[in-house]
Amino acid sequence: MNIELLITKSLSQDERSWTLTSRIGDMLEMAKKRFGEIHSDFFLLGIEFKDDGPRIQYQNPKYIIIHLTPQSLDNEFIAYYQLSHEVYHLLSPTGIYDPNNLEEGLATYFSKLYLDSLKKNVFNWENATKADSRYYNAYLLVDKLLQIDPDVIKTVREKYPTIKTSHLTIKEFEAVMGNKMPKDTIVELLKPFPTNKNGL
């Protein structure tokens, strides 16, 4: 177990080492800058480690717990990979498990952005993501969309702040993208995210 992921230490009078908890703020600021502000009345309680992670756990009345796998404590980059994905979901949580390909594709895309920002080529993001083709396929769709308009998600979310990302429709993208909208890609992105690795 890499205990430094959980326990901070003083590096100087004004600086402490990063833990998973302190990285949440860094990740959130990066996600907001790229994809828009948080539209949520949920409150993040913290991180837990469970065999069924990584995932977001909703708790009544309006709380969120991030679950990471216990194995993530053995490798800081696996922990950052899992945590950055789940942190993206804090931007537009719905309170139930109802993601579409867009929401999961964006979370997967953001995990790559965050790992790339660390500038340490010690974690094979692509191999880790391809292990579950649902996430990799959703990522490829998001990447295709963002190559057309890198700011489209931020623009759509700012224009329609009350609509959760998982509940966006073609209408919202049409209003923002006009004739640049790749309809086939948007249709695929707005489909419900498959519930298991077999795509069912």
Nearest to 24 by CA among 82, 104, 63: 82
Any domain includes 157: yes
Does some domain include residue 2?
no
Question: Could you give the residue ranges of the DSSP H alpha helices within the chain?
Answer: 20-35, 76-88, 101-117, 125-130, 133-148, 152-159, 170-177, 183-189
Q: What is the mean pLDDT of each run of 10 residues along the chain (200 residues)?
A: 80 75 95 97 96 94 96 94 98 95 98 92 90 97 98 98 97 95 96 74
Domains in the chain, number: 1
Residue 199 lies in a domain: no
pLDDT of 8: 82
Quote the pLDDT of residue 13: 67
User: 86, 56 in Cβ contact below 8 A?
Assistant: yes
Look at residue 127 in the predicted model and tell me its pLDDT: 94
Task: For residues 29 and 21, give the distance between their C-alpha atoms in angstroms, rounded to a whole number.
Answer: 14
Q: Is residue 7, in this structure, part of any structural domain at all?
A: no
Q: What is the pLDDT of residue 6?
A: 82
What pLDDT is stored for residue 20 in this prediction? 92
109: domain range?
A: 15-189
Type of residue found at 139: Y
| Amino acid present at 20 | L
For the entire predicted model, the pTM comes to 0.93
